[in-house]
Structure 1
Amino acid sequence: MSETDTVSTRSAWRAVGRSMVRFVALAASGWIHQPRERVGERLAFANGTSAVIYRETVVDTVGHDVPAVLVVEFRLRAVHGWLHWLFRLESILNTPLFVGFPGFASKLWLAHDEHEVYRGIYEWDGAERAVSYAEALSKILALVCVPGSVEFHVLPDHERDAWLSDRKGLPANEYHEPRAWWLVA
């Protein structure tokens, strides 16, 4: 999926505002964590690119009744060279924008790939919740991204870590597909 018109910019900002309010409660309760076990791990994608995990964010309060994986990609406007380092440093400030969305469980933050594209790999409780978040995020990211570069893909009924480690069951024709930017190879 790509940038969508199903969510208005106004409703996207309202959803982000609710997330920021909930973030305060989650942070005050100590339920937000930044594990380091996966930081530094390089993930390869079916489109031939790869990226390194530079941060992980986890919220302890979310159950996984109906797990879903959400993969988001975007390319920032005018961010090249050392500005990538600056963006990764600044990106911690973006945490309140998504952690408080209903159903958020975790996010792996990936550095830019060979084409300066960033990705986030999330786990949600509920594919519908993941889509709602991704649609709102697409509206917000469109303000700072190369037009048409914001995309997302939802995998219902998948747990993130199991999906990342079990790629043997994927059809062989999906490997090295240019449009399979979301598929971990």
Structure 2
Amino acid sequence: MGEQRPLGHGEAWLGVADCFLASSALLTRCRVHVPKERLGMRLHFEDGTSARVYRETRLGSGLAKNPCTLVVVFRLRLVGGPGHALFRKESLLNTPLFVGFPGFASKLWLAHDERDRYRGVYEWDGPDRAEHYARCLWRVLALVSVPGSIRYAVLPGLRRDDFLADPGRAEGLGPDGTEAWWRVQDTT
């Protein structure tokens, strides 16, 4: 994974448009599921923050053939206090912006942490596809996020649930540097 930056406007918005069309077909055929088993689970991160799962979205079985975990973080502009509850409800409407991207398998939606950052923890089919999605998503998030708050970590060869069960398995897979926002310590 190289320098983190969004795709060019044209390529990113074309990716989002293609995704939206594919999402419509998936939703119409009832291929998108919203399981409840992980609701309320709290993820504790190495940067000292934690956040609870408020939704899961799964396509089919939610398992990828060439698995990788993708963690995305951002901080919304102008959202605080009761606005967080409103965002969590509204965010269901964002589902067509990701389920139709090639390689999507599943997503855990995390509520805001102690620094008002939101995270998504995904299982993706293929690290290149996960990277492409993250760089397209950046353009969408940039419309509503604090500048400089968008980051992502692609962890190739690692299923999301294995990452959560044994965070040590991600050693050496994430972004270089000392940033710990994506590293899970444990779950409760």
Distance 1:67 1:169, change over 3 A: closer
Q: Is there any run of 5+ residues in structure 2 with no aligned partner, and where?
A: 172-176
* 8 A Cα contact 2:9 2:139, kept in partner: yes
Residues 38 and 2 of structure 1, relative CA distance in 2, 3 Å threshold: farther
Contact 1:75 1:146 (C-alpha < 8 Å) held by counterparts: yes
Cα 1:34–1:2 shift into 2, 3 Å: farther
Residue matched to 1:174: none
Contact residue 40 and residue 52 of structure 2 kept, 8 A? yes
Shift of 1:167: 2.5
Distance in 2 between residues matched to 1:51 and 1:70, nearest whole Å: 16
Task: Find the residue that maps to 2:121 and give its secondary structure.
Answer: strand
TM-score (norm: length of structure 2): 0.90
Deviation of 1:81 after TM superposition, in Å, equals: 0.3
Is the aligned partner of 1:4 residue 2:8?
no
4+ aligned runs moved over 4 Å, structure 1: 168-171
Partner of 2:151: 151
8 Å contact kept, 2:107–2:120: yes
Indicate the residue corresponding to 2:112 in structure 1.
112
Return the TM-score normalized by structure 1.
Answer: 0.91
SS in structure 2 of the partner of residue 131 of structure 1: helix
Distance 2:170 2:159 in 1: 15
CA–CA distance in 2 between the matches of 1:53 and 1:158? 20
8 A Cα contact 2:67 2:125, kept in partner: yes
Q: Secondary structure at the match of 1:87?
A: helix
Q: Offset of 1:65 from its aligned partner?
A: 2.2
Q: Decide whether the 8 Å contact of 2:63 with 2:106 is kept in 1.
A: no
Distance apart, 1:10 and its partner CA = 2.3
Contact 1:4-1:139 at 8 Å conserved across structures: no
Take 1:170 and 1:126, find their aligned partners in 2: how far apart are those partners? 16
Name stretches of at least 5 consecutive residues in structure 1 with no aligned partner: 172-176
Q: How does 1:129-168 map to 2 (within 5 A)?
A: 129-168=129-168
Per-residue displacement from partner, 1:89-115 (whole Å, max 9, x unpaired)?
000000000000000000000000000
SS at match of 2:184: coil
Q: 1:28 to 1:47 in 2, by over 3 A?
A: same
Using the TM superposition, give the Cα deviation of residue 31 of structure 1 relative to its aligned residue in structure 2, in angstroms. Answer: 0.8
Which residue of structure 2 aligns with residue 43 of structure 1?
A: 43
Measured at CA, do residues 156 and 168 of structure 1 come closer, stay the same or move farther in structure 2, by a change above 3 Å? Answer: closer
Letter matched to residue 16 of structure 1: V
Residues 2 and 79 of structure 1: CA distance in aligned 2, closer, same or farther (over 3 Å): farther
Conserved 8 A contact 1:35-1:57 = yes
What amino acid does structure 2 have at the position aligned with 1:66? N
CA distance in 2, matches of 1:68, 1:99: 16
Report percent identity of matched pairs: 51
**Alignment-derived partner of residue 34 in structure 1:** 34
